[in-house]
Structure 1
Amino acid sequence: MKINGILAACSLVSALAACSGSGGSPNTHPTNTTLQQSLEQVRKQSDKQHQNLTDITGVYQSTTIRADGSLKRDPIIAPINNVGSIRTLQIGRTVVDLIPVGADEKQPVIRHVSKNEHLVLGNNLKHAAYGWHTKLEPAGGATGTLFFQGKLTPPDQMPDKGTAVYNGLALYTGKDSVTGNVLAHVEGKSTFNVNFADNTVKGNISAKNREFETAHFNADIKGNLFTSREDAANKIDGLFYGPNAAEMAGIFSGQSGTNHFKGVFGAKK
């Protein structure tokens, strides 16, 4: 498989891999976890200690494939806990500059392709960032990472009344279960209605060029996180970022017609 093919295949596998498997803190040995468990770890940690708005907090899902495109091991899903810039992705000893040299920082979506890497970044927020990073492995194959991170809203700054509308972008990948056709790194828009009194999130995500039908989502707020119910057809899970929940970002997944999709999003008031 050629380099571009490996990178594309890894992006697809990392996006559509099930939200289960091995995970853990970036600086510890992996433990079994899920996306919602990782978010709960983040929430509990922010409850226990005063959250500094310079801390970078989020969740990543990392998937490694072989050169033939087969899955090498179960996806790793774990919290991101670092101190630094939202424009730097740090997972263990791996550090990725999310604004590569020469990139136009004013673009809402940044795309960067080099010999060994492929980056797609949602760049429309002030307090958070989200996207995909895929890199070739020295021994062959590639590792793809789906992520969102930012400056988490401290628990005492979460609104407990009123409503707000959040508008933003989304990046997702999908595969048609009937034809097998793949759509990679599709851009879209996201809109959410948040009721802080009822602790509910309702919204939708739609593809920019109508590659997918509009998908609708519901989630419940708990502290500074929001999660969909386990039996939801379309799921959205994430965190609030910035002062007074100024922004929100997370991971979404579901089905649109015969297309199964997964991606990341970021929106602001």
Structure 2
Amino acid sequence: MLDALFADSPHPLYVLDGTLRLMGFNEAAGDFAVLPLGGALGQPLRHWAAGLHQEPVEAMLHEVLATGEPRRDLEVAGGATPDAPDRVLALSAFRLRDADGGLPGVALSVVDATERHRAQVRLSMLREANARIGTSLDTVRTAQELADIGVPDLADTIVVDVLDAVLRGDVPAVESLGRDLLLRSAGFRSVRAADGHRAEEVGSVMEPGLTSQYEEVLTGGRPVLITEHDTVPAGHGGQEVAQANGAYSRMAVPLAARGGVLGLARFYRDRGTAPF
């Protein structure tokens, strides 16, 4: 039965001995590029799955070995695989014994749960946003709530810029936007903000410039991805925030309400996280 399980399972399965050395694996595990197995047989977990060699994982495996109780869906995130730091793996394990009931081993199942995890994060963010954002008529407070909710799950740094006219009580229609667009920073949050540093202060002016993609966001009403190869005019807030926060992937999203334009939100991801 165990042989059939290993042969037919669509998920990677690994057999470890009592010291967590790799003793065997199925075909799906051999094809699982996330955990390459070249020269891994006989090696301890930390040698062939460095991202899994962390205290919760080893504690789970030792608990299964000691108690015989299976464990399911332990999620490992943030470094499970160094080349894909945003990947999330779901681990399950059950104890094995030889035919004579001798020294136990453990079978480890690994599933790429990245998309499931992202869906859960998005749902959680939507619920929090629905509960918090827009409960106040204070534009600056609402902008800050948007930034607070999106970091760190959506971006490493978020800046929310509001049209100066909005802060003065007006909500201009898209077709009324002129060539001289004046934006003011109204919200900011960053994973790097612990030292108190930020590239822009609330109320500071950020002028998109006639050729920048930020103007395209405002007048076109569409999100725009800005890669590290795209240029942002020197002296404009977007370039300064990107440099200050080590961002390499940027996205700008328009903010609209009641048929008018409020401003835009800028999202930045640092190197080491997946790009937008």
Determine which structure has more spread, i.e. the larger CA radius of gyration.
2
Higher strand proportion (structure 1 or 2):
1
Query: Normalization by structure 2: what TM-score?
Result: 0.31
Q: Which structure's relative contact order is higher, taking Cα pairs within 8 Å and 6+ residues apart? A: 1
Query: Normalization by structure 1: what TM-score?
Result: 0.32
